[in-house]
């Protein structure tokens, strides 16, 4: 019995010295999808203080014009999504979602606008297209 403990300890030292390291990997989980509230409202989880942008259609592309508002809640409603907005990276690199921010930015006339998909931790495929 003592011999097996020594053998295991010796094997561990040899492996550690060789640079071989065994790491347990965490299981990959899919993001929880946005939840349907009613026919034109979806509840999604988002980052605190996420900016809400005004986008404008210019020469065949959406362009970011300004930040209209900020979202202070981390569970918010969204009504639809676009998949051809400005590049934002992430799994949906051109996806933006229409919503209303909690706090309007100084000088802005509206709190409505688009949030970047990368500011939303929920999977947004369930949100209807605009």
- Across the range 72-79, mean pLDDT stands at 98
Residue 31 has what pLDDT? 81
pLDDT tens for each residue of 80-118: 999 999 999 999 999 999 999 999 999 999 999 999 999
pLDDT at residue 87, as a whole number: 96
Q: Which of 76, 89, 31, 80 is nearest to 49 (CA)?
A: 76
Q: How far apart are CA 43 and CA 36, in angstroms?
A: 6
Token readout for 95 is: 């996806």
Q: 15-57 pLDDT, tens per residue?
A: 344 444 443 444 445 689 999 999 899 999 999 999 999 999 9
For residue 45, give every residue at least 6 positions away whose Cβ sits within 8 Å of its Cβ, in sequence order, or none: 32, 74, 75, 120, 121, 122
| Residue among 106, 108, 105, 115 nearest 42 (CA) | 115
Task: Say whether pLDDT at 12 is over 90.
Answer: no
């Amino acid at each position: 019995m003592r011999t097996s403990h020594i053998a295991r300890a010796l094997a561990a030292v040899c492996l550690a010295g060789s640079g071989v390291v065994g790491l347990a990997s965490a299981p990959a989980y899919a993001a929880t999808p946005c939840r349907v509230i009613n026919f034109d409202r979806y509840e999604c989880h988002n980052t605190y203080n996420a900016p809400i942008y005004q986008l404008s259609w210019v020469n065949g592309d959406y362009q970011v014009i300004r930040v209209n508002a900020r979202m202070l809640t981390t569970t918010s409603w969204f009504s639809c999504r676009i998949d051809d907005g400005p590049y934002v990276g992430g799994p949906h690199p051109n996806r933006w979602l229409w919503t209303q921010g909690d706090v309007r930015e100084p000088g802005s006339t509206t709190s409505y606008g688009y949030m970047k998909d990368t500011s939303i931790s929920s999977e947004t495929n369930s949100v209807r297209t605009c």
